[in-house]
């Protein structure tokens, strides 16, 4: 499996996050329309996340080490720009998927809980979790991805229009790719780049994917890879229950 992924030189988005742009050729958007896209710091910018309630953020696992402590992390919400390094709302708990594998990209998902509620406002919104499986065909309505550029921190939040690829097309590029990972493509030279870890794939007003890997910035010959949120809905529910109870034990996958 690892060989299949490495054969196309996929890059986990966290690698070399400091050395290039993010959301290659994206279009600036109004921050308040995407107020659920938050920034995660440790204390440097680590990833984007999706605020799905006042206390919970959905993001990716590969940005955090196994021994990362919640108190090392903060969440910043309601800002149009990111910062190179920042401290904001402290994190009370972190649950990475217990079966996450950086070699196969399987189960690249995590849930954070902040210590104090991030209240809904003009600049801060919540987004629902994917309520139905992604439609994987070219006739489906285009989705979008939103995120920031780390190397150009004076650039605002941007978005790009994308298309979820059919399963049979994804299998041509990645014949042994893990379940729960989907291919997302664009035909306009836009795409993911370094620093886009955790960027949400938005469809029907819900977060249905999390950006995890790409082949090359803006290379439309290969799709980017996203964790499928609907596929992991059981894990998300168990993670929230675990964090609500304040127990350190991680939920099962």
Per-residue pLDDT at 169: 82
The pLDDT tens digits of the residues spanning 46-100 come to 999 999 999 999 999 999 998 999 999 999 999 988 888 899 999 999 999 999 9
Q: Residue 37 has which token pair? A: 């896209």
Location of structure tokens 């493509």: 185
Which residues of the chain fall below pLDDT 50? 1-22, 24
Rounded distance between C-alpha atoms, residue 97 and residue 77, angstroms: 24
Location of structure tokens 């990209």: 105
Contacts with 40 (C-beta within 8 Å, 6 or more apart), sequence order: 46, 47, 48, 49, 57, 59, 63, 73, 74, 75, 76, 112, 198
Rounded distance between C-alpha atoms, residue 167 and residue 230, angstroms: 15
CA distances (Å), origin 104, targets 2, 172, 224 = 5, 16, 14
Per-residue pLDDT at 151: 59
């Amino acid at each position: 499996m690892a060989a299949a992924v490495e054969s196309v030189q996929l890059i986990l988005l966290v690698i070399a996050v400091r050395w290039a742009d993010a959301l290659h050729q994206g279009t600036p958007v109004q921050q308040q329309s995407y107020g659920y896209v938050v920034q995660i710091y440790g204390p440097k910018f680590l990833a984007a996340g999706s605020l799905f309630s006042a206390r919970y953020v959905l993001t990716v696992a590969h940005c955090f080490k196994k021994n990362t402590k919640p108190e090392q992390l903060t969440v910043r919400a309601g800002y149009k720009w990111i910062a190179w390094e920042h401290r904001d709302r402290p994190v009370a708990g972190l649950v990475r998927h217990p079966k996450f594998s950086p070699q196969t990209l399987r189960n690249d998902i995590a849930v954070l809980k902040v210590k104090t509620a991030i209240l809904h406002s003009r600049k801060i919104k919540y987004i629902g979790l994917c309520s139905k499986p992604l439609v994987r065909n070219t006739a489906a309505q285009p989705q979008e991805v939103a995120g920031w550029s780390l190397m150009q921190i004076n650039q605002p939040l941007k978005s790009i229009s994308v298309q979820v690829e059919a399963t049979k097309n994804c299998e041509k590029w990645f014949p042994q790719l893990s379940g729960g990972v989907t291919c997302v493509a664009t035909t306009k030279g836009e795409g993911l780049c370094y620093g886009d870890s955790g960027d949400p794939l938005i469809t029907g007003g819900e977060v249905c994917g999390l950006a995890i890997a790409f082949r090359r910035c803006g290379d439309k010959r290969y799709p980017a890879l996203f964790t499928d949120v609907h596929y992991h809905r059981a894990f998300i529910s168990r993670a929230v229950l675990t964090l609500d109870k304040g127990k350190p034990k991680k939920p099962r996958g």
